[in-house]
Amino acid sequence: MKIAFFDAKPYDLPAFEKYGAEQGMEFAFYDTKLNINTVALAAGCDAVCVFVNDVLDAPVIDRLYEQGVKLIALRCAGYNNVDLGHAFGRLHVVHVPAYSPYAVAEHAMALLLTSIRRIHKAYNRTKDFNFSLSGLTGFDLHGKTVGVVGTGRIGRVFIDICRGFGMNVIAYDKFPAENSGIEYVSLGELFERSDIISLHCPLTEETHHLIDQEAIERLKKGVVIINTSRGALIDAEALLEGIKSRKVGAACLDVYEEESDVFFRDFSGHIMSDDVLARLISMPNVIVTSHQAFLTEEALDNIAETTVKNIASYFNDGVCDNELCYRCGRIETCKKERRERCF
């Protein structure tokens, strides 16, 4: 089996080479992203292995299909960058539903603590031997209300962490977790009651710009917003206006709506062409990390192992439990009943 591996980074290679060798797979690693201009690199391959910012729209899927590619293997949980409807009947799609919910949830809490306790500012000061405490006053998490949007694996781990800090937890999910002991409320109530809001839901047509100008108007003054899921859950321009108007007290972002041309690359020494991102980063109450919440040794190993197993299952066993099924409309949940490929 030969697999074209797009958007490859040095930290990806060791685990994929290890697990790939065990299955007799040959990976062709490309540091470029998959799009219509690079799709020819997959010619002669059985599958493509892609990440969050690779583009798998209809034209790319058609070219992959014409080149004989049979499988799209996502090495991530999200699949908003894949046109699943167009892939149906052409290419099968598999993903990694869980790799380390702890990695992402812990990063969300790290962002929150860094922001409210001004740790990043204190670090920069003390590097210059400035030990003044002026401007570093934060607030306790104990007793604060945190609203968690999305209570899948990551959301529930984040809730456990918040409970450990003595926080009051409320949550919204279209499909509440049964017997979880979580207090579910409407999205509107969550917006109005929360001191802190953390997003842990997938990006869909329904959740696109979940936090927009209208939503920000309903938030408590001084609310802290955390996003470690997908950038387009938040209207970045509306967020910027919310920060400027002092309605949003702080923003902790590991993802950004237009990150595909920026994140995972070094632009130091260059002019930032994205004005909204540049203005967000310039705000003293905004922390931006470059989609690194998943980046732990444990998560990287789990991602590689599961991705390789997905590919091997498809080609060797004829079916993969982690296939994304478009036929029935239950894209992920039908895998519990699946005994055959989606098509």
Per domain, the residue ranges of the chain are: 2-99+297-336, 101-288
CA distance 141 to 238: 26
Contact 323, 112 (CB under 8 A): no
Q: CA distances (Å), 245 to each of 112, 193, 217, 221, 224, in order?
A: 21, 19, 10, 10, 14
Name the active-site residue from 291, 298, 327, 330. Answer: 291
| CATH number for domain 2-99+297-336, candidates 3.60.20.10, 3.40.50.1370, 3.40.50.720, 3.30.70.260 | 3.40.50.720
pLDDT for position 318: 85
DSSP 272-294: ---HHHHHHHHSTTEEE--S-TT
Tens-place pLDDT, residues 303-326: 999 999 999 999 998 888 899 987
pTM across the whole model: 0.90
Name the active-site residue from 106, 257, 259, 323. Answer: 259
Tens-place pLDDT, residues 102-120: 999 999 999 999 999 999 9
CA distance 188 to 298: 36
Which portions of the chain are predicted below pLDDT 50? none
**Same fold? 2-99+297-336, 101-288:** yes
Name the active-site residue from 86, 230, 257, 323. Answer: 230
Is residue 107 among the annotated active site residues?
no
pLDDT for position 163: 98
Is residue 291 among the annotated active site residues?
yes
pLDDT for position 29: 98
Closest of 259, 266, 201, 211 to residue 238, by C-alpha? 211
CATH homologous superfamily of 101-288 equals NAD(P)-binding Rossmann-like Domain (3.40.50.720)
